[in-house]
Structure 1
């Protein structure tokens, strides 16, 4: 293949991107005639460079960072793009704290192992979720538990990694805050009293805990919500978690559709998108099936 761009967020996760970027670029250089390495200093850099990769018809775009960085690259790739636009093939290199999308598609958590795991001669299709028409990489969340994750400072993420998320979640257990939500799935409306929710096009964690298996190319948006996020309620979920059957528990709501609309009946509630602050309700969640070509992983 011809030319590739590698966008690196040096401040993601434990801030190892700058040190690892040369080794990642060296491996890519064995498969592409040129590798253009970009180290971002702000969110606008990632969006602008991803847009440039599309407009200048790069053959491949690799993004090294967390879900937030990947989401920013999606903004740039799809901003102003039409159905006939030629998008570069996409490669994700984990460099953040949670790396949820990487886990979902099966990419190794280590950056060097991840880039070595790709088969650059094959691609696979990835659905892209949208919130109010804007693409996101992994999740749109709301409520007590995910808000705690968004409040984790970059310093704590850099020092403690994923453990910082775990600690923040534990500290928020027992918060009795609930919200009356109006949820419309493909035109069918329901009202639910919800503590926390997460919406996604695919999620490896949800697949581990439920019978219903989401896929990165099933053409659906999925919503999983906790009616009660108190510690006793979460502990009571453990048997169903171990049996991979939380979707059959009355404390959990698991919905699927082409379009999901969420509004808050009893006041304001703001969402998180890919771990960062996002829009306040109401939101409309949709999906673009097979919108992105991703490099396939090597077969075992």
Structure 2
């Protein structure tokens, strides 16, 4: 008998209002003989419940929540030699992985779409001793985003991140980084932002890295070139509309499977952003785990 552990983060407030668990259980019952339900209560629960799913002899681990919840689930699954299959419903602000996989962002649409499913191979990234599903960002802009206040996030959503990021771009002169890509040293780079992406969608921009695929076995490295903030702002906006940010004149773009990043500038204070949350400080070592997971997606 096939089984699925359903884990819901109730912090969105939609559980009681919309009867969320009943709706999702009804959808999952079309694919699994046995479903167990758990709710997260604190940070780290979505990762810890992976062990419970294994103990219950489940085939699939399915989470409902924002990007942080999905990241926790992937951190739990990626540690397994033979991971359980994975599924999720997006309930966050950005939902880049859902965008990249073609999972609708509206709850009712996603439930309908997942009534007919297939299993998609999914790469997972590793950064130092943790894992990521979508993007690692480094520099003054991600640092500002890390410290965007909860009040501004609640009031302005994604635009709060944009505001703080653009303020950092205007007010900072950048850090100097040393990067090794697949063992080859790149020229020293002074920049306000470095991105390492696994999917085409970054920060809800669905063609940030136009040729990235969720199972291409590659890390996609984008580095903002040193230029003035007005030029960056104008070209970035144009390329957002064109859907080809990785090919912008003020962006250097590389692809590889292993990246090392260090800096001579106060390295211990340079904080990364991993899937939207604060991550480790330098030095950083990133690698790709090709097709590490199988994820539930709508059948075309």
Structure 2 distance, partners of 1:242, 1:155, is 29
Distance change (3 Å), C-alpha of 1:209 and 1:99:
closer
1:290 aligns with 2:291: yes
CA RMSD of aligned residues (A): 2.4
Aligned to 2:37: 37
Q: Which of 196, 201, 214 does residue 198 from structure 2 map onto? A: 201
**Residue 223 of structure 1: aligned partner:** 221
Q: Provide the C-alpha distance between the structure 1 equivalents of 2:181 and 2:242, rounded to a whole number of angstroms.
A: 27
Structure 1 residue 43 displacement after superposition: 1.9
Contact map agreement 2:177 2:261 (CA 8 A) in 1: yes
Unaligned runs of 5+ in 1: none
Q: Which residue does the alignment assign to 2:263?
A: 264
More moved, 47-56 vs 167-176? 167-176
The residue that corresponds to 2:250 in the other structure is 251
Check the 8 A contact 2:78/2:292 in 1, yes or no: no
Counterpart CA distance in 2 for 1:276 and 1:294 is 22
Structure 2 partner of 1:111: 107
Give me the whole-angstrom Cα distance separating, in 1, the residues matched to 2:123 and 2:116: 20
CA contact (8 A) 2:30 2:115 kept: no
Q: 1:125 to 1:236 in 2, by over 3 A?
A: closer
**Following the alignment from structure 2 to structure 1, what is the Cα–Cα distance between the partners of residues 6 and 178?**
41
Q: Is the 8 A contact 1:48 1:76 kept in 2?
A: yes
Between the aligned partners of 1:272 and 1:239, the Cα distance in structure 2 is 25
- Note if 1:9 corresponds to 2:18: no
SS at 1:61 equivalent: strand
Pairing 1:1-300 to 2, within 5 Å after superposition: 2-11=2-11, 14-16=12-14, 19=17, 20-79=20-79, 81-82=80-81, 85=82, 87-118=83-114, 122-190=118-186, 191-205=188-202, 208-209=207-208, 213-228=211-226, 230-268=229-267, 269-299=270-300
- The CA deviation at 1:255 is 1.3
For the residue of structure 1 that corresponds to 2:44, the secondary structure is helix
Offset, 1:245: 4.6
Rounded Cα–Cα distance in structure 1 between residues aligned with 2:146 and 2:256: 26
Report the Cα offset of residue 88 of structure 1. 2.3
Offset, 1:242: 4.2
Query: Partners in 2 of 1:45 and 1:240 — Cα distance?
Result: 39
Distance 1:194 1:152 in 2: 21
Unmatched tracts of structure 2, length 5 or more: none
Aligned pair count reads: 292
**What TM-score results when the alignment is normalised by the length of structure 1?**
0.87
The answer to whether the 8 A contact 2:194-2:224 is kept is: yes
Q: 1:45 & 1:249 partners in 2: Cα distance?
A: 40
Change in Cα spacing, 1:109 to 1:183, as seen in structure 2 (3 Å) is same
Distance in 2, Cα, partners of 1:4 & 1:241: 39
Offset of 1:56 from its aligned partner?
3.4
